[in-house]
């Protein structure tokens, strides 16, 4: 499936929040820069992960999408408003949806949904350097900062990092930590300043 067909025909029926411009930019950057080893933190129903997976299939790369799909992880250190929203979800069904999309798009050799926290995934990996990192997990101050501190050093010099929900006050500390390790590259678009791309120093 082409990325245009995915974005225009397939993705709108999926759960989640990844916009069409973001999906297209993820795909284009990965293909243009040959970012063959990727990690996405926070999968939900797989909208962005599948866009990355399609790019990885084109360049013969691999992305792991890690998400624990548990309420404990989703609610950890979150505001009461966010806790109330996440508590209403059946995350088992969300995980099954993500896995179903990966299978339907036939990108599994290049894209895997891994059920675990970003910390557990870090502890069990051999830490081959990453070319691409997408941080879109729990947005609390502690969790978003922890993902930056833990995973940005694993990205090679010149690698691309995507960080979502830059407009959330709770990600402010994570953004400051990011600025010490990577340079701003671009927003998703001129009128969308919620998701930013960085280049690792």
CATH number for position 109: 3.40.50.150
Mean pLDDT, each 10-residue run in order, the chain (201 residues) = 98 96 97 98 98 98 97 73 79 97 97 96 85 95 96 97 95 97 93 92 97
Q: What is the pTM of this model?
A: 0.94
35 within domain boundaries = yes
Tally of structural domains, the chain: 1
Q: Is 140 helix (H, G, I), strand (E, B) or coil?
A: coil
187 within domain boundaries = no
Domain that holds residue 143: 3-154
What is the spatial distance between Cα 76 and Cα 48, in angstroms, rounded to a whole number? 23
Structural tokens at position 167: 């407009």
Of 33, 38, 30, which Cα lies nearest the Cα of 66? 38
Looking at residue 124, its pLDDT comes to 86
């Amino acid at each position: 499936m082409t990325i245009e067909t995915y974005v225009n025909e397939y993705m709108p029926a999926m759960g989640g929040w990844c916009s069409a411009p973001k999906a297209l930019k993820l795909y284009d950057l990965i293909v243009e820069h040959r970012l063959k080893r990727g990690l996405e933190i926070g999968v939900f129903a797989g909208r962005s992960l599948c866009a990355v997976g399609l790019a990885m299939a084109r360049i013969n790369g691999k992305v792991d999408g890690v998400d624990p799909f548990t309420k404990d992880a989703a609610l950890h250190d979150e505001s009461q408003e966010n806790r109330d929203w996440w508590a209403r979800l059946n995350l088992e069904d969300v995980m099954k949806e993500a896995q179903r999309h990966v299978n339907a798009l036939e990108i599994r050799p290049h894209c895997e949904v891994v059920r675990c926290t970003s910390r557990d995934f870090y502890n069990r990996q051999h830490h081959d350097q990453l070319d691409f990192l997408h941080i879109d997990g729990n947005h609390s101050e502690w969790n978003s900062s922890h993902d930056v501190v833990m995973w940005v050093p694993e990205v090679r010099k010149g690698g691309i990092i995507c960080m979502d929900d830059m407009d959330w006050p709770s990600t402010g500390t994570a953004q400051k930590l990011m600025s010490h390790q990577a340079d701003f590259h671009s927003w998703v678009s001129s009128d969308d300043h919620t998701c930013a791309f960085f280049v690792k120093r």
